[in-house]
Protein backbone atom coordinates (compact mmCIF):
# COMPACT_ATOMS: atom_id res chain seq x y z
CA UNK A 1 0.00 0.00 0.00
CA UNK A 2 1.27 3.48 -0.85
CA UNK A 3 2.25 5.87 1.90
CA UNK A 4 0.95 9.44 1.44
CA UNK A 5 1.85 12.58 3.33
CA UNK A 6 1.81 16.35 2.94
CA UNK A 7 4.74 18.44 4.15
CA UNK A 8 5.45 22.13 4.51
CA UNK A 9 8.79 22.66 2.79
CA UNK A 10 11.64 24.63 4.26
CA UNK A 11 14.74 25.75 2.39
CA UNK A 12 16.19 22.23 2.56
CA UNK A 13 13.33 21.23 0.22
CA UNK A 14 14.26 23.58 -2.61
CA UNK A 15 15.13 20.68 -4.95
CA UNK A 16 11.76 19.03 -4.27
CA UNK A 17 10.03 22.37 -4.86
CA UNK A 18 11.86 22.87 -8.17
CA UNK A 19 11.04 19.33 -9.33
CA UNK A 20 7.29 19.42 -8.63
CA UNK A 21 6.83 23.05 -9.71
CA UNK A 22 8.46 22.43 -13.08
CA UNK A 23 6.45 19.23 -13.50
CA UNK A 24 3.24 21.17 -12.85
CA UNK A 25 4.14 23.89 -15.36
CA UNK A 26 5.10 21.34 -18.03
CA UNK A 27 2.14 18.99 -17.54
CA UNK A 28 -0.59 21.65 -17.16
CA UNK A 29 0.70 24.81 -18.87
CA UNK A 30 -2.79 26.25 -19.40
CA UNK A 31 -3.50 26.11 -15.66
CA UNK A 32 -0.81 28.61 -14.70
CA UNK A 33 0.05 32.22 -15.50
CA UNK A 34 3.76 31.32 -15.38
CA UNK A 35 5.58 29.20 -17.93
CA UNK A 36 8.05 26.38 -17.36
CA UNK A 37 10.57 28.27 -19.46
CA UNK A 38 10.43 31.28 -17.12
CA UNK A 39 10.93 29.13 -14.03
CA UNK A 40 13.69 27.04 -15.63
CA UNK A 41 15.76 30.22 -15.96
CA UNK A 42 15.59 31.05 -12.25
CA UNK A 43 18.82 31.07 -10.30
CA UNK A 44 19.27 28.88 -7.24
CA UNK A 45 19.00 32.03 -5.09
CA UNK A 46 15.66 32.94 -6.70
CA UNK A 47 14.24 29.46 -6.12
CA UNK A 48 15.23 29.77 -2.47
CA UNK A 49 13.74 33.27 -2.19
CA UNK A 50 10.42 32.12 -3.61
CA UNK A 51 10.31 29.17 -1.24
CA UNK A 52 11.19 31.42 1.70
CA UNK A 53 8.54 34.01 0.77
CA UNK A 54 5.63 31.62 0.21
CA UNK A 55 4.58 28.68 2.36
CA UNK A 56 4.74 25.69 0.00
CA UNK A 57 3.10 22.35 0.79
CA UNK A 58 4.03 19.25 -1.20
CA UNK A 59 2.10 15.99 -1.35
CA UNK A 60 4.20 12.85 -1.43
CA UNK A 61 3.34 9.28 -2.36
CA UNK A 62 6.05 6.85 -1.26
CA UNK A 63 8.44 9.81 -0.86
CA UNK A 64 7.91 11.01 -4.46
CA UNK A 65 6.48 14.54 -4.84
CA UNK A 66 3.12 14.32 -6.63
CA UNK A 67 1.42 17.63 -5.83
CA UNK A 68 2.11 21.18 -4.72
CA UNK A 69 0.22 24.12 -3.27
CA UNK A 70 1.38 27.51 -2.08
CA UNK A 71 -0.20 30.20 0.06
CA UNK A 72 0.07 33.87 -0.78
CA UNK A 73 -0.63 35.76 2.43
CA UNK A 74 -2.36 39.13 2.45
CA UNK A 75 -0.14 41.87 3.82
CA UNK A 76 -2.62 44.60 4.79
CA UNK A 77 -3.42 44.71 8.51
CA UNK A 78 -7.17 44.26 8.00
CA UNK A 79 -6.72 41.20 5.79
CA UNK A 80 -3.60 39.62 7.35
CA UNK A 81 -5.72 36.62 8.39
CA UNK A 82 -6.40 35.77 4.73
CA UNK A 83 -4.40 33.89 2.11
CA UNK A 84 -4.88 32.81 -1.48
CA UNK A 85 -4.07 29.33 -2.75
CA UNK A 86 -1.54 29.48 -5.57
CA UNK A 87 0.23 26.99 -7.85
CA UNK A 88 -2.14 24.15 -7.01
CA UNK A 89 -1.27 20.93 -8.82
CA UNK A 90 -1.77 17.18 -8.34
CA UNK A 91 -0.64 14.59 -10.86
CA UNK A 92 -3.49 13.69 -13.17
CA UNK A 93 -3.56 10.00 -12.22
CA UNK A 94 -3.89 10.91 -8.51
CA UNK A 95 -6.68 13.48 -8.80
CA UNK A 96 -10.07 12.87 -7.15
CA UNK A 97 -8.51 10.60 -4.53
CA UNK A 98 -8.61 13.17 -1.72
CA UNK A 99 -4.91 14.03 -1.76
CA UNK A 100 -5.55 17.79 -1.97
CA UNK A 101 -7.85 17.64 1.01
Whole-number pLDDT of residue 33? 94
In 3D space, the residue among 49, 81, 67 whose CA is nearest the CA of residue 7 turns out to be 67
Give the per-residue pLDDT at 23.
98
Average of per-residue pLDDT across 61-77: 93
Q: Where are the beta strands (DSSP E) in 1-42?
A: 4-8
Quick check: 73 and 59 in contact, CB under 8 A?
A: no
Q: What CATH fold (topology level) applies to the domain 4-94?
A: Aminopeptidase (3.40.630)
What is the tens place of the pLDDT at every residue in 2-54?
A: 899 999 999 999 999 999 999 999 999 999 999 999 999 999 999 999 999 99
- Rounded distance, CA 67 to CA 73, Å? 20
Q: In this model, does residue 65 exceed pLDDT 90? A: yes
**Is the pLDDT at 1 greater than 60, yes or no?**
no
Amino acid sequence: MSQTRVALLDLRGVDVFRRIRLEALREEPAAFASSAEDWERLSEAEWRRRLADTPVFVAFVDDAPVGVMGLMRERAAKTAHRATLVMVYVRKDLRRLGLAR
